[in-house]
Structure 1
Amino acid sequence: MTNATPLRRTLTALAATTLLAGGLLLGQTAAAPSAEAAGKTTTCHVEDMRKQSRDLRAKAAKLKRLGATTEARRVLAQADALDRRIQNCIDADNDAAKPFPR
């Protein structure tokens, strides 16, 4: 009985890993609910979200003045994420208003 060469072992392990990863991705895709199936509509209250963003930025500035820079960065990241959501809502409204989207 001969031992497998290192290249053969490596290729076998790589093939097995690829098959497992592909199976996991396929399983997650099949099990995940689609956005159409959910039937939910998202409502954006832009003014309320902007107020939350302003409040978070004020809180971050206060934390930074007090010397809690790590917490200030975390709160500032939350405000940035909220600003991105606001921009996504505005972009979605603008795209929906066009009669012939690109």
Structure 2
Amino acid sequence: MNHATRARRALLATVLLAGGLLLGQTVTAPVAEAATSRTCNVNRLHQQARDERDRAAQLKRLGAREEARRAAARADALDRQARQCARADEVVAPPFGR
């Protein structure tokens, strides 16, 4: 009897695991498909970085040094993201089978 209980538990665990994997695949499939077709808008990122740099300069002129530092850091992050996106678009290999 103990052996049958262990077998049922193992079977139940296997079924739950397989069901969870199947459910996970169906939920993430559209997300993965959307993520592969989406690219960054590098020009928009550069424009946002320029806007943040202008804002940082204005804040610095007004004497808000800490806020200016944060705005400059956001501008640096946007520039870095734009460079990464541009590099990813250049380096990306075509999908296998195409």
| TM-score, length basis structure 1 | 0.56
Structure 2's unaligned 5+ residue stretches are: 1-23
CA distance in 2, matches of 1:57, 1:79: 6
Letter in 2 for 1:58: D
Q: 1:73 and 2:69 equivalent? A: yes
SS in 1 for 2:84: helix
Structure 1 residue 43: Cα displacement: 2.0
What is the RMSD computed on CA atoms of the aligned residues? 2.1
2:19 — aligned with what? none
Aligned length: 64
What CA deviation, in whole Å up to 9, does each residue of 1:58-100 have, x standing for no partner?
Answer: 00000000000000000100000000000101111111269xx
- The residue that corresponds to 1:96 in the other structure is 92
- Runs of 4+ residues deviating >6 angstroms: none
Larger RCO, structures 1/2 (Cα 8 Å, 6+ apart): 2
How does 1:12-91 map onto structure 2 within 5 Å? 38-39=31-32, 40-41=35-36, 42-91=38-87
SS of 1:79's equivalent in the other structure is helix
CA distance in 1, matches of 2:39, 2:88: 11
Secondary structure of the residue aligned to 2:86 is helix
* % identical aligned pairs: 50
Amino acid at match of 2:77: A
